[in-house]
């Protein structure tokens, strides 16, 4: 079972505008008009944090009158008041969902993360709850939480308990205007001092199983004492795997120093949980002073690695909680702070990767001075041989009439999800729709489970007649199926049935996160990604779901899923970031070599006694994942260092003669100079700044297309590598297609 990953971006449309018969004066007026539209407020723009790896959201106060410009500024949604219990069930068993439904649906339609605010709080609770005894209160609480879970199953986040710290707003009946009094119904302080919070989170976990559960409170980042108390509560919840993130309100920061906020963010980050700034506003009347405060505080929060999103608390004059926190006047004119915010986010965005520029390096042209004709001929010839060459010695692609085909592992005489998904990726990159559809229909017909615990997963290998050899799944196959289908949707559009590529991809994505969370039982089907670790598992089965394979980590694919998927978008952003950090722990610090398998902490692992704690066949592909991730998104300069380190290691072993298996500290124990490894090392040259890259590129150019008994794995990696190093492995962008 092996995997590989790589991309690039191309807009499916080239826009050319021709102005004819227009005199200079008319043209000048036209250009001035266009410029004035561009530099005024974002009437037709995208959210100002669009394309970033964290969101910048806002509240919607009135679900019946959502601001028409909301999506031109913000890309996350929180209901300001519509989701609070009092506003939904002011009278017992009489529900008002209209505004909350509207806000939720708006978020779903725009593919924005939606946060429910809030389940448990001392304020804005229905008055009738205080008149019930504890047993009836608990029954009503369970009903309330279960209704939210049923009605809003696609909620990305939920503030489970709001403002729980003592003397804030727990539901203890205290306060000058008495709060709700159902704390004891949830268990009171109990043995932990926080039993009522723990039980609230247990209910939320039960009834909102696919939603990230947050705690939320004010006065945290501007108070070390509150931060310390908050961390104690958070760690109690974390120890029971009940909490997924930390919410920190950001009201009242007008006089707060950046140093204090940074210190407390650092403390919270030590919990290992993501932080969300949930209610940011700066209540300053003077335009310039408000802008200065944003300039001081916003970057330190936005750029903190533990902060995964920021939600502002209103933005239009006369529609904010505090009178001077607005960023747009009631005539929709931007205040200086809003203009600065847009400029800052634009300048802080990492936009040097191919995803942003649309430019893909071609190493054969750049380093070897090969012509387009030479390069295209070489690629076409390789495809022709591997897909339509001699049946016994060359081809891997075998049609099954009338309209299916498979990729065969020749040595093992079987069909694997790895090879099928690689074949589909090669086909979509080369605009071979017929071959793509044939492969997909075979995989859909013989490999994908259509019901039962493994529904939408694939049997990882079959006989060439379609008979299943193993009903279990290998995670890399599903990953490559998903991205290939998404590219097909963008490049060719969707048809009906199994050729509605986008729907098919989404079904697999949903399945990846909606099986059993984990298990130690053999043949128990589990999630393909461990939600706590945010890492892909080796096999989604209880016997092998507690470790991973470095070559299965495809952060560049997860980045795209985060942008295009119908749900769980923030999870995919988090998974991308997690994989980048994981790579640093998984590779040897001296050689840059990765093992085949590791534990989730990155330490080498050899569960089956086959030497998988060493650099073997799966591990060939890891460096290509690192290099393509940097080529597409350029988010971590460590990836350049890693590519340099690994290439320098192989250079020291002889570019044309190095072997294919090593211990992680660099001892070679196989002398075969494998074409698949040659291809993957050459892909590393895309991100490398080393002086020796030309030698690796020449080695791939001179390599023969694999033939013979062992041509399957070498051949697939060779073909993918050829596309990757020539700029022919591209991102076909669903968002661009939609436009």
HSE-up of 430 (CA within 13 Å, CB side)? 25
HSE-up of 293 (CA within 13 Å, CB side)? 22
Tell me the C-alpha distance between 253 and 281, whole Å: 8
| Unique residue bearing structure tokens 């609480």 | 141
Tell me the C-alpha distance between 540 and 553, whole Å: 15
DSSP assignment of 529-570: EETTTTEE-SSSBTTS-SSB-GGG--HHHHHHHHHH-SS-HH
Q: What is the CA radius of gyration of the chain?
A: 28
Catalytic residue among 53, 618, 642, 699: 618
Give the DSSP H or E segment for 535: strand 535-536
Cis peptide before 711 (omega within 30 of 0): no
Give the 3-state secondary structure of 443-504.
Answer: HHHHHECCCCCCCCCECCEECCCCCEEECCCCHHHHHHHHHHHHHHHHHHCCCCHHHCHHHH
CA 695 to chain centre: 35
Question: CA dist 651 to 509, 645, 663, Å?
Answer: 39, 10, 16
Tell me the C-alpha distance between 678 and 330, whole Å: 62
Per-residue burial over 419-440, b if 16 or more Cβ lie within 10 Å, else e, is bbbbbbbbbbbbebeebbbbbb
Outline where 653-684 has alpha helix (H).
Answer: 675-684
The answer to whether 518 and 543 are in contact (CB under 8 A) is: no
Greatest distance between any 2 Cα atoms in the chain: 85
Strand partners, 539: none
Nearest alpha carbon to residue 218 among 180, 258, 162, 283: 162
Give the DSSP H or E segment for 292: helix 287-302
Tell me the C-alpha distance between 120 and 681, whole Å: 54
Tell me the C-alpha distance between 415 and 677, whole Å: 22
- Write the Ramachandran bin of 654: left for phi over 0, alpha for psi from -120 to 50, otherwise beta: left
Determine how many CB atoms are found less than 10 A away from the CB of residue 86: 16
Is 418 known to be catalytic? Answer: yes
Question: CA dist 286 to 102, 111, 251, 283, 292, Å?
Answer: 35, 35, 17, 9, 10
Burial class (CB in 10 A: 0-12, 13-18, 19+), 612: buried
- 3-class DSSP assignment, residue 598: strand
- 3-class DSSP assignment, residue 326: coil
- Write the Ramachandran bin of 525: left for phi over 0, alpha for psi from -120 to 50, otherwise beta: beta
DSSP assignment of 8-47: -EE-S--------S--HHHHHHHHHHHHHHHHSS-SS---
- 3-class DSSP assignment, residue 441: helix
| Unique residue bearing structure tokens 């505080």 | 297
Tell me the C-alpha distance between 468 and 465, whole Å: 9
Q: How far apart are the first and last CA of the chain?
A: 38
Question: CA dist 216 to 75, 234, 276, 485, Å?
Answer: 20, 10, 9, 38
The answer to whether 227 and 220 are in contact (CB under 8 A) is: yes
Is 618 known to be catalytic? Answer: yes
Strand partners, 10: 732
Catalytic residue among 409, 418, 476, 546: 418
The answer to whether 88 and 96 are in contact (CB under 8 A) is: yes
Q: Among all residues, which ones are annotated catalytic?
A: 418, 618
């Amino acid at each position: 079972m092996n995997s590989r990953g790589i991309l690039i971006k191309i807009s499916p449309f080239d826009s050319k505008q021709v102005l004819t018969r227009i005199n200079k004066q008319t043209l000048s007026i036209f250009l001035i008009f266009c410029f004035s539209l561009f530099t005024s407020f974002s009437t037709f723009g995208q959210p100002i944090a669009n394309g970033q790896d964290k969101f910048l959201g806002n509240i919607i106060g009135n679900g019946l009158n959502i601001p028409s410009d909301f999506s031109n500024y913000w890309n996350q949604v929180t209901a300001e008041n519509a989701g609070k219990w009092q506003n939904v069930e002011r009278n017992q068993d009489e529900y008002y969902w209209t505004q909350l439904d509207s806000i939720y649906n708006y978020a779903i339609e725009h593919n924005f993360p939606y946060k429910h605010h809030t389940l448990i709080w001392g304020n804005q609770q229905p008055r009738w709850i205080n008149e019930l005894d504890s047993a009836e209160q608990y029954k009503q609480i369970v009903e309330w939480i279960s209704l939210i879970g049923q009605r809003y199953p696609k909620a990305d986040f939920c503030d489970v308990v709001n403002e729980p710290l003592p003397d804030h707003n727990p539901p203890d009946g205290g306060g000058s205007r008495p709060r709700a009094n159902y704390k004891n119904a949830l268990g009171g302080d109990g043995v932990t001092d926080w039993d009522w919070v723990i039980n609230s989170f247990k209910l939320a976990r039960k009834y909102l199983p696919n939603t990230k559960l947050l705690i939320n409170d004010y006065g945290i980042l501007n108070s070390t004492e509150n931060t310390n108390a908050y961390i104690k509560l958070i760690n109690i919840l974390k120890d029971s795997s009940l909490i997924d993130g930390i919410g920190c309100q950001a009201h009242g920061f007008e006089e707060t120093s950046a140093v204090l906020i940074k210190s407390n963010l650092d403390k919270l980050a030590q919990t290992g949980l993501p932080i969300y700034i949930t209610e940011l506003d700066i209540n300053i009347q003077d335009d310039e002073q408000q802008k200065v405060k944003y300039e001081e505080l916003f970057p330190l929060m936005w750029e903190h690695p533990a902060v995964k999103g920021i939600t502002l608390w209103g933005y239009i004059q006369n529609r904010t909680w505090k009178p001077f926190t607005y960023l747009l006047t009631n005539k929709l004119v931007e205040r200086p702070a809003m203009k600065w915010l847009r400029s800052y986010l634009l300048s802080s965005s990492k936009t040097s990767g191919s995803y942003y520029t649309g430019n893909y390096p071609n190493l054969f042209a750049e380093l070897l001075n090969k012509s387009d004709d030479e390069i295209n001929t070489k690629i076409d010839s390789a495809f022709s041989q591997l897909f339509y060459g001699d049946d016994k010695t060359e081809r891997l692609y075998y049609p099954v009439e009338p309209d299916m085909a498979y990729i065969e592992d020749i040595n093992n005489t079987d069909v694997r999800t790895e090879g099928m998904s690689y074949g589909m990726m090669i086909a979509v990159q080369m605009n071979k729709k017929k071959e793509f559809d044939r492969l997909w229909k075979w995989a859909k017909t013989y490999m994908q489970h259509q019901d039962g615990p493994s529904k939408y997963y694939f049997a990882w290998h079959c006989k060439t007649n379609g008979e299943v050899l193993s009903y279990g799944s290998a995670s890399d196959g599903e990953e490559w199926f998903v991205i290939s289908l998404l590219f097909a949707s963008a490049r060719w559009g969707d048809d009906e049935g199994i050729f509605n590529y986008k729907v098919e991809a989404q079904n697999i994505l949903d399945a990846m996160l909606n099986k059993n969370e984990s298990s130690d039982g053999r043949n128990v089907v589990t999630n393909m990604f461990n939600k706590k670790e945010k890492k892909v598992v080796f096999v989604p089965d209880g016997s092998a779901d507690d470790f991973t394979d470095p070559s299965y980590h495809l952060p560049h694919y997860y980045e795209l899923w985060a942008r295009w998927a119908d749900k769980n978008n923030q999870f995919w952003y988090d998974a991308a970031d997690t994989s980048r950090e994981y790579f640093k722990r998984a590779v040897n610090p001296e050689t840059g070599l990765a093992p085949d398998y590791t534990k989730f902490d990155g330490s080498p692992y050899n569960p089956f006694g086959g030497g998988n704690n060493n650099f073997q066949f799966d591990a060939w592909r890891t460096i290509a994942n690192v290099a393509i991730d940097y080529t597409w998104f350029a988010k971590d300069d460590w990836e350049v260092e890693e590519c340099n380190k690994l290439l320098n290691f192989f250079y020291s072993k002889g570019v044309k003669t190095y072997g294919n298996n090593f211990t992680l500290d660099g001892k070679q124990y196989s002398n075969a100079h494998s074409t698949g490894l040659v291809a993957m090392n050459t892909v590393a040259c895309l991100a490398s700044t080393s002086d020796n890259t030309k030698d690796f590129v020449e080695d791939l150019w001179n390599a023969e297309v694999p033939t013979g008994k062992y041509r399957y794995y070498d051949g697939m990696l060779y073909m993918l590598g050829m596309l990757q190093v020539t700029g022919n492995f591209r991102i076909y962008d669903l968002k661009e297609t939609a436009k």
